[in-house]
A and B are shown apart, each in its own frame.
Chain A
Amino acid sequence: MSPPPPSASAEQRSPLRRSPALRTGLSIAGAISLYGVSFGALSTAAGMTLWQTVALSALLFSGASQFAFIGILASGGTGAAALGASTLLSGRNTIYAVQMKALLNPKGLSRLAAAQITIDESAAVAMSATDPLEQRRGFWGAGIACYLFWNLATVLGALLGDVIADPEALGLDGAVVAAFLGLLWPRLKSLDSWALAVLAALITTLTMPMLAPGIPVLAAAVLAVVWGLASRGGRS
C-alpha cells in the first residue's frame, strides 16, 4: 500500500474545511479531551508537581501510558515500575508508526513531529480514510487537535482539580467507543473483514484479564499479520 502523492486537483476538489477526516479528527479530539482534565487532577493527587504533570502530557503524550505512570506511583510502585509499564503500553504506538510510515512517509523534522503525535486516535483516523490526502489530513488533524486539547485539559485539571463532572457520567467513555467503531465501520465490507474484526475483538477481550493493559492490542495485531499472510497465500 504505497499511495501516490495527492495531486493538485485532489486539493482543489476538497478544501481543508470540508475534509471528512479532519472533522472526524476534531470530533475524536473533543471526545477524549475531558479525560485530560481527569489526568491532570489525578496526577497532582498522585504527588506529581504541576510541571511534572505538564511534562507527561507534553512530552510523553500517550494517554494510557500516562495514566499507568501516575497510577503505579500513586499505589506506591517504584519509578522504574512506572517507566516500564508506560513504555510497554506504548508498544502499540510502534505498530501505528510503521502503518503511518507506509501511508504518509513523513521526512526530516515532520517525521520527528509525526512520531510525537502517533497515538491511538491519530493512527485510527488516518487508517480509516482511503484517500491519501484524507489520510494525511486525518493523521495531522487528529494528532494536533488531540495534542492541543489534551495538554490544555491537563493544565486545567492540574490547577483546578476535577472541576468538571466525571467524564463517565457525561457518557464520554461511550463517545470514545462509538468513535472507534465509527472508524472501523467503513472497513467492514466483506465477510472476511467482519470475521477478522470479531476475532481481533475477541482476542483482545479474552486476553485483557491476563495481560498488562494495552498489550492485548498487540495480540490482535499479531493475529492480523498472520491473517494477512495466510489470506495472501490462499489467493495468489
Chain B
Amino acid sequence: MSLWLWVLAACAAVYATKLLGYLVPQDWLRHPAVGRISAMLTIGLLAALVAMNTFSAEQGVAIDARLGALLAAAVALMLRAPFIVVVLIGAAAAAGIRALG
C-alpha cells in the first residue's frame, strides 16, 4: 500500500514541475529580452536533447550505433529529406550498424 503512496506522490510532484512553468506571470514573458532568450533556449534545449539521446548510457556516456544514426540523419537533412524519412534513416542506420556488429 505504501508503494501506492510513493507512486501518487511522484505523479503529483512531476505534474507540479510541469504546471509551474505555466504559472509564470504573463508580464515577465513580455519583457524584450524574453524573445531573444527564448530563441536561444530553443536551440540550446534541442541540441541538448540530441546530445542526450545520442550519448547517454547507464554509466555516463557511450559512443555506439546511435552516433551512426546521428551522422546518417545529418546527411539526410543536408539532402533536404522530409522529417519522416530522416527518422526512418536514423532507425535504419542504428539497426544496420548493430546487425553488422
A158-180, CB under 8 A of B: which get 1 and which 0? Answer: 00000000001111111111111
Interface of A is mostly: helix
- For A96, the chain B residues whose CB sits under 8 A away are 18, 21, 45
- For B4, the chain A residues whose CB sits under 8 A away are 52
Cβ contact within 8 Å between B21 and A101: yes
Count class of interface residues, chain A:
35 or more
Q: Is B43 an interface residue (CB 8 A)?
A: yes
Interface of B is mostly: helix
Q: Is A45 an interface residue (CB 8 A)?
A: no
Cβ contact within 8 Å between B45 and A221: yes
Q: Is A74 an interface residue (CB 8 A)?
A: no
| Interface residues in B, total, Cβ within 8 A | 74
Cβ contact within 8 Å between A59 and B15: yes
Cβ contact within 8 Å between A220 and B10: no
* A residues adjacent to B (C-beta < 8 A): 1-2, 20, 23-24, 27-28, 31, 48, 52, 55-56, 59-62, 65, 69, 73, 79-80, 82-83, 86-87, 90-102, 105-106, 111-112, 114-116, 118, 120, 123-124, 127-128, 168-185, 187-188, 193, 196-198, 200-205, 208-209, 213-214, 216-217, 219-221, 223-225, 227-229, 231-232
Q: Can you list 6 pairs linking A and B with CB atoms under 8 Å apart?
A: A94-B20, A98-B29, A101-B21, A170-B95, A184-B50, A200-B45
* B residues adjacent to A (C-beta < 8 A): 2-11, 13-15, 17-22, 24, 26, 29-30, 33-56, 59-61, 65-66, 68-70, 72-74, 76-77, 83-84, 86-96, 98
Q: Beyond A200-B43, A220-B51, A221-B45, list 11 extra A-B contacts (CB 8 Å).
A: A48-B7, A87-B10, A91-B17, A93-B14, A93-B21, A176-B90, A177-B66, A178-B70, A181-B50, A185-B77, A232-B37
